[in-house]
Amino acid sequence: MTTNIKATGNESKFNSRSKKTNTLTEETGRIQPQARELEEAVLGALMLEKDAYSIVSDILKPTSFYDKSHELIFASIQDLAIQQKPIDMLTVIEQLRKKGELEAAGGATYIAQLSQKVVSSAHLGYHARIVAQKYLARELITFSSNVASKAFDETNDVEDLMQEAEGQLFEISQRNLKKDVTPIGPVIHEAIELMTEAAKRPEGLSGLQTGFKDLDKITAGWQNSDLIIIAARPAMGKTAFVLSMAKNMAVNYNIPVALFSLEMSNVQLVNRLIVNVTEINGEKIKSGQLQQHEWHQLDSKIKDLYNAPIYIDDTPGLSIFELRTKARRLVKEHKVKCLIIDYLQLMNASGMTSHSREQEVSLISRSLKGLARELNIPLIALSQLNRQVENRTFKDKDASEAKRPQLSDLRESGAIEQDADIVCFIHRPEYYKIYADAQGRDLTGKAEIIIAKHRNGSTGDILLSFKKEYIRFQNLDEDNIVEEYQSRINGQVNYIATMNGITNNSFQNNVQNTDQNFPF
C-alpha cells in the first residue's frame, strides 16, 4: 500500500521538528535522511571529552538532530556550555532533570549508554558535519514539499510563489552557511591591492564617487559592504539627495545604480530626475505645458539620462526577502554597484516573527547590513526621524543647533544606528527660517550633510547647495559656475541687443535655451 501524507498549510515551512516520528517523506514514502548512529557517537563524544563542544558549536544546533531525544540531549549540553559548566554524563542528566525533559530524552540509562559507546572524539568534527548535512537535506525536502503543495493550489499566484520560494531557499542556505576563519596574510594582500587602486585615481578614492566632492573626501567614496543610512525629517530633501547622487554616479561616472522606491512610482521618480537634469519647473513637466524653447531644452539635456545605468523598482510594501531576490539579480545581470532604498520604514519583514514594529525594523536593519556584506556593494537606505527634532529648543544655544538632528532621533529603532556603518543627516536650516549660522554665514539655499556616525573614518559636516525649484543638490562651487555662465550670457545679450536694437529679455530667453555647452 502506498503511503500518502499530505502537507497542510498550518505546518511551518521549515519546521525540522515536525513529525520526526514519521520516517517517511511526504512525496516518495522513502526514509528521510538521517544518521542515528552518528548522532549517538557525537553526543557520546561530547560527554566524554572536556573540550569537545568547541569543535561542534558552530556546526550543530539542537534541531540538527533527527531523533527527538538526541535534540533534547544536545540542547542541555548547549545550556551547560553557555553557563560554562562541565559537560559529562552526570551534568547532562542533571540538566535534563531540571528542565523536566529527562524521560523524554530516553532516561538516565540511555544517556549513560551513549557515553559508553565512544572511545574518543578523534573524528568528532567529521561526524558532526555528516549530521549537519543530513539535517540540511531534510530541510530541503520539507521546503520542496511545501513548494510543490502550493504549486498545485491554483489559488496561489505563481510569481508570488516563485518570489517566496527563492527567499525561503536563500534563508535555508544562509542559516546553514558557515564561514571559516581566514589567515591574515591574504587579507593584507587584498587591502594593499585596494590601496594601490585608490592611489591610481586622481581623487584618491577607494569607494564609489557620489559627485559631492566634500562628502567623498570624508568617506573616500561609498565603500563596499557598508550600510549607509541617510536620515531626515519630511521635506528636507531625502529623495532629492539620493536622486542627485544617483544621477551623478550613473551619468558622470557610469556606475550602475538600483533604486527601490516604496513611496513614489517610477514615473514620479523619473519626472524628478528630468526636472533635476533639464532645469525645467516640475509643474510644467507634469502638465506638459512647455514653451517651444523649453521643448528644445528638454530634448537637449535629457539625452544623457536615456542610456544611464539606473534601474528603478517601485514595488510598494517591499519585503526584505523580495529585496534580497531582486538585488541579487540586479548585481548578477546588470552589474549594479550600489543599491538605494527609499525608505526603510516602508519595508516589511514578512515571513519573520516579530512582536512589535520596533523589532520588525530591527530585523530589517540587520538584514540590510547582511545583504550589503553578501553582495559586497554599498547599500544606502533612507530613514525617517522622529518628531523630537521639531519640538527641541535650546534656550542657551544658537537656534540652528536646536534643530540639528542627532543619532537619538532615528525613528522606531536604535538598531538602525547600531547596524549602520555610516549615518548621515540632511539638515536645511532655511526650512526652520534660520538664514545664518552662529558665525554669520549665509545659509539661504544651503543644506548641511551631517555625518554623525562613520564606523571606519571621521565624522563631520559638509555644506551643499540645494536648488528647490530643480529638486537638486549640488556642490557649492557649481553655484559659481552658474553665476559665471549667467554673467556671460547677460553680457552677450546686452551687446547684441545694443547693436541690433532688440529687447534684452527676448534675446536672453533664446540664448539661454539654445546654448549646448552649459555643463548642466
Q: Which residues are catalytic?
A: 263
Identity at 282, one-letter amino acid code: G
d(CA 461, CA 427): 10
Residue indicated by cell numbers 544517556: 111
Q: What does the DSSP assignment read for 170-237?
A: HHHHHHT--PPP--HHHHHHHHHHHHHHHHHSTT--SSB--S-HHHHHHHSSBPTT-EEEEEE-TTS-
**Apex CA 486: angle with CA 483 and CA 488, to 5°?**
110
β-pairing, 460-467 vs 472-474, is antiparallel
Q: In what order do the strands lie in the sheet with 422-427?
A: 310-313, 257-261, 338-342, 379-384, 227-232, 422-427, 446-454, 460-467, 472-474
Task: Check: CB of residue 117 under 8 Å from CB of residue 44.
Answer: yes
Task: Check: CB of residue 69 under 8 Å from CB of residue 105.
Answer: yes
Closest CA to 258 of 307, 208, 305, 312: 312
d(CA 314, CA 323): 11
Q: What does the DSSP assignment read for 167-187?
A: HHHHHHHHHT--PPP--HHHH
Residue indicated by cell numbers 531644452: 297
